A = this chain, B = another copy of it.
Amino acid sequence: MKLIKTPVKGMNDVLPREERLRGKALAAIRETYAAFGFDEVETPAVEHIENLTGKEGGENEKLIFRVMKRGAELQRAIEKGDELADSGLRYDLTLPLARLYAANKDSLPAPFKALQMGPVWRADRPQKGRFRQFTQCDIDILGDASCLAEIELISATSLMLTKLFAGTEAEKFTVHVNDRRILRAMALYAGFPEERLDLVFILLDKLDKVGKEGVKEEMVREGFDGAAADKYLALFDRERSGSVADFCAFLSESGLDGAIPETLDTILACVKAAAPATATFVFDPTLVRGMGYYTGPIFEVTLDAYSFSIAGGGRYDKMIGRFAGQDTPACGFSIGFERIITILGDMAQKQAATPGDGVALLVEAGADGALMRKVFADAAALRAQGKRVTVLPLKKNAKFQIDVLMEEGYGDVRRIYKD
C-alpha cells in the first residue's frame, strides 16, 4: 500500500535545514535558563479531557483534538451516547504545568523555576505561519511572591535573546513593563466604570494600530463617555522619563498602593544592572497583555527591527492555586518559539554561504576490505578531531555529487577509488 504523502492538515514535517535552526534555538534556550537555575520538565502530550474542557476558556475548547476511548469503554460510550473521548492533546503548557505542580509540589524545589518546551495542538483554521502543532516555550516561577521572580524571568529572557540574535539585525530589543493594577487605576481615574474595564483594555490594546483617535472612536461607539476617553488617552502623554513612582503619583487618589510603582522601579533598575547593551527596558503604561488572569506586573518583549512581540508574560497569582487547590503565587514568560525560528530562518537565507568544514569520503564500489578498513580508520581519526565526516558511495556523476555535498557543508570532499 502507498501512503498519503502530505502531513495531516495544518501540521508539518521539519526538514534538516529548519531542524538545525530549531536545535540551535532549543540549545540556547536550555543553556540560558539552566544558568539561572531553571529546571526543565515535560508533561505528556495527552491530557484528561476533564482537565482540558473544565477551564472557563470556552474558546479553547473548540480547538481541542479529542482522543477516543478504546475497546470496551468506547463500545459502552457509543451504546450509552456518552462522551466518546477520554482525553485530548494539550493546547498549552500552562495547564499541564499546574497539574504537574499540584501532583509533585512536595518533591519540587520551592520556589519552582520551571522551563517547558514542547508541542501543543490546536485545531485552528490553518494559515500562513500558523500550524496546528507548534512548539511552545514557557518559563515560570511558582511559589515566589517577591519581585525577584520578575527580575529573574526578564533577565534570563534578555540574555537568551542576546545569545540567539547577537550580531544580527534582530539583536536590539525592548522590554515593555507595566502592572495590571496601574492599568486599572488609570482607567478608574479617567472615570470608566469598573465593571467594563476589560473592554476598555481591549480597545486600548489597539492603540498601536489605530492611534488615539481610533481608540476614542471605538470607545464612544461602545457607549463609553467621550470625556472619559479623552481624559484617559491624555494620561499617556504624561512625562514618563522619570521613575514609575513619579509617573503614578497622581494615582494615589484612585487608591493605587504606592508600593506597586516602586516595585516596577526596582524591577527596571535590577534588570538594567544585569542587561546586555542591546536591550532597552521601559515602563509602558499602554501595555495591556490580553489575558485577564494577570494580577500584577506584566511584560512584553519586542524586537526593534520587527513589528511583533517575541515574548510576553506577567504575574498570575490566582490561576495555579485554583487548579492545584492551594494558593500559589506565580509569574511566567511565554517565548514565541516559532517566531524565533522564522527570524533565524530569514537571517540564514540572507547570510552568504560559507564553505562548510565537513569532510565527505566517497568510496568507489568494489573497494576491497583493506581499503575499506583504511577509509573508516581515517574517518574515525577525523571525527576524533571534532570534524563532521560522512562516508558515502561514490556516484557515477561524481561532479554533481560533489557540488551537492559542498552545498550541504562538506567543504572537503575526497574520492577514494579502488586500486
Binding site for B on A (CB under 8 A): 1-8, 11-16, 19-20, 22-23, 27, 30, 34-37, 39-48, 50-51, 54-55, 65-68, 70, 84-87, 89, 95-96, 98-100, 102-104, 107-111, 113, 119, 121, 123, 133, 144-146, 148, 151-152, 155, 159, 265-266, 269-271, 273-275, 322-325, 358, 360, 363, 365, 369, 372-377, 379-380, 383, 386-393, 404, 408, 410
Contact = CB atoms under 8 A, between A and B. Distances in A.
Contacts of A324: 2-3, 5
A4 B387 CA distance: 50
B23 A103 contact: no
B67 A274 contact: no
A269 B4 contact: no
A36 B361 CA distance: 11
Contacts of A11: 44, 46
Contacts of A87: 8
Contacts of A7: 43-44, 99, 103
B13 A43 contact: yes
Contacts of A102: 3, 5
Contact of A65 (B46, B110, B266): B46
A126 to B, nearest CB: 12
A273 B376 contact: yes
A39 B19 CA distance: 8
Contacts of A48: 3-4, 8
A274 B382 CA distance: 11
A140 to B, nearest CB: 13
A34 to B, nearest CB: 6
Contacts of A36: 383, 388-390
Contacts of A159: 383
B84 A380 contact: no
B42 A67 contact: no
A89 B273 contact: no
20 contacts: A1-B54, A2-B323, A3-B323, A4-B50, A5-B103, A13-B42, A22-B42, A36-B388, A66-B70, A67-B67, A109-B404, A111-B393, A144-B392, A144-B393, A146-B363, A148-B393, A151-B376, A269-B373, A270-B372, A274-B380
Given A67-B89, A391-B151, A103 B274 contact: no
A273 B30 contact: no
A41 B66 contact: no
A270 B68 contact: no
Contact of A42 (B19, B34, B145): B19
